[in-house]
Amino acid sequence: MNLANKLTVARVCMVPFYILFMELGGFYNSILALLVFSIAAITDFFDGKIARENKTITSLGIFLDPLADKLLISAAFICFVDIPMLGITAWMVIAIIAREFLITGLRSIAAYKNMIIPADKSGKFKTTSQMIVIITIMVILIVNEAFLKFLRVNPVALKFYDCDAYATLAVIMDKIPFWATLCAAILTIVSGVNYVWKYRKLLDEK
């Protein structure tokens, strides 16, 4: 197994640790979860770069890379739904995961016809956007946890303080997780439609 594939496997192995820290919750565990996710996101950049530069792109890597991304992204958004303070609704996460099932099905059809569907630019842009959204939400979650742990203040209550800066911060922490996830869901759906259209001939029985 080459270095690029080892990084991809390492990303898959990080998923359970991310879920564990998110389930434990709290300020310090949220920081650990963000650290694990960030390291995993970095490996996503370097495994492809290394494979291209060293010309070690393999069928295993083409299969594992998008799978690792799907596991990491899905785990993050599913964990977010379970945190009421973020206000992220289940249907957006279902839309994101449904797209991944759709593309996995398309890749299965391609494999049956001795083809491999690599990740294209829209897929990579989608994944990068999702990771940015997740990291942003994780930072907001950590700030929320910091207010609760150290100041004993619910961040949402800051909007009632007689201070514009506090009110703005409260609105950001209250609204961004929902709207950022909505944007990620829309980009994910668009990417899925692009894949299906690009490889629509695979669905032709003839």
CATH classification at residue 34: 1.20.120
At 65 the pLDDT is: 80
* Buried b / exposed e along 137-146 (16+ C-beta atoms within 10 A): bbebbbbbbe
88 dihedral zone (left: phi>0; alpha: psi -120 to 50; beta):
beta
pLDDT confidence bin for 165, thresholds 50/70/90: low
Q: In whole angstroms, give the CA distance from residue 197 to residue 200.
A: 5
The range of the structural domain enclosing residue 81 comes to 3-203
Is the model's pLDDT at 90 over the cut of 80? yes
At 157 the pLDDT is: 57
pLDDT confidence bin for 24, thresholds 50/70/90: very high
Which pTM value belongs to this model? 0.85
Domain count for the chain, please give it: 1
Q: Which of 78, 57, 203, 55 is nearest to 137 (CA)?
A: 78
More confident residue, 82 or 201: 82
At 205 the pLDDT is: 61
Share of the chain above pLDDT 90, in %: 35
At 50 the pLDDT is: 78
Share of the chain above pLDDT 70, in %: 87
> What does the pLDDT look like over 96-149, one tens digit per residue?
999 888 888 887 788 777 777 766 777 778 888 999 999 999 999 998 888 878
